[in-house]
Amino acid sequence: MQETLKKLQEEALQKIEVASDLKELNDVRVAYLGKKGPITEVLRGMGKLSAEERPKMGALANEVRAAIGGSIEKKQAQLEEAAVAAKLAKEKIDVTLPGYTVKAGNPHPLTKIIEEIEDLFIGMGYEVAEGPEVEQDYYNFEALNLPKGHPARDMQDSFYITEETLMRTHTSPVQVRTMLNHDGKGPVKIICPGKVYRRDNDDATHSHQFMQIEGLVVDKNIAMSDLSGTLEVFAKKMFGEDRMIRLRPSFFPFTEPSVEVDISCKICAGKGCNVCKGTGYIEVLGAGMVHPNVLKMAGFDPEVYSGFAFGMGVERIAMLKYGIDDIRHFYSNDIRFLKQFDRYEGQ
């Protein structure tokens, strides 16, 4: 019996030694130490032994059990450690590998310019107003002192949808709509950004669809000097403190007097160069004092109220600010062009 126990111990220790994983090790445990295992079997036969031999054999059997159990525990710790090491090796992250970049879009340059202009005028107490792009002839022309058949309608070739409906040719109808909402009471102080449409042939400086920003102030005692002061602040903030503005007499049916507003050329500082075609100035917008007829049609008493308005092409402002030579870049969706206008650049 002694020999059998020793042999079983040897056998078990060998199997433990070669066990390659926890499952195999557990199989050895069950096989040798389990209730149906050979050691238990041997112990069952102890009844046949003499009273003298019995305790000796019992002690030996316990020794064998303890040796096998201890060896299993040791091996189990080794295998568990190896399993953790293997898992760590498998899941190791190489932090030097290049990561995946998340592609974030940039605001379109025209959106950036509009937001910049909005911020500037909101800072001066203006509100942002919007209106429909499919507009009624009345708001786009008639209420702006441009009755049907007026020759000045030719200044803005239009896309008509019906006799009375068209794609708006400028953002000025929003000033009419806003004034009508004020029930003849000032002050009105708004800017209106939005898309406009004209039957112009597309070229480097013209597009059949472009963006405008309109500005309108109506209150008591508004004078031409308020207009020029406001536009000077605008020009300096948008293009630099060294810029000057120049007002040239012009004509718009909805303003009287009317002006074209030029800003001094950045390249030659007003001396004259190729960019400004030798004039020292570049035209940026149209403006003027709101015509009394327009005030009247919008419900304001021109004897009490006066106002100024201006309208600018957003693409032309962006072209001047960023040095872009062709308006079509804004609408061609060329990613190489758009990527240059980083989200935070210039803000």
Residues that bind ligand FA5 (CB under 6 A): 156, 170, 172, 198, 200, 206-207, 210, 212, 214, 252, 255, 285-288, 309-313, 315-316, 327
Q: Which is nearer to ligand FA5, 156 or 264 (CB)?
A: 156
Smaller CB separation from ligand FA5, 112 or 316: 316
C-alpha to C-alpha distance for 73 and 344, rounded to whole angstroms: 62
Name the minimum Å distance from CB 100 to ligand FA5: 40
We find the least distance from the C-beta atom of residue 176 to ligand FA5, in angstroms, to be 11
- Can you read off the two tokens belonging to residue 152? 């000045």
- Residue 248 phi/psi, 5-degree rounding, is -115, 140
Q: Residue 184: what residue type?
A: G
The distance of closest approach from Cβ of residue 95 to ligand FA5 in the complex, given in angstroms and rounded to an integer, is 51
Q: Shortest distance, CB of residue 290 to ligand FA5, whole angstroms?
A: 8
Judged by beta carbon, residue 71 or residue 158, the one nearer ligand FA5 is 158
Q: Rounded to the nearest whole angstrom, what is the least distance from the CB of residue 285 to ligand FA5 in the complex?
A: 5
Nearer to ligand FA5, 121 or 310 (CB): 310
CA 189 to chain CA mean position, Å? 29
Biggest CA-to-CA distance, the chain: 135
Compare residues 198 and 246 and give the one whose CB is closer to ligand FA5: 198
Contact 339, 106 (CB under 8 A): yes
HEC secondary structure over 35-101: CCCHHHHHHHHHHHCCCCHHHHHHHHHHHHHHHHHHHHHHHHHHHHHHHHHHHHHHCCCCCCCCCCC
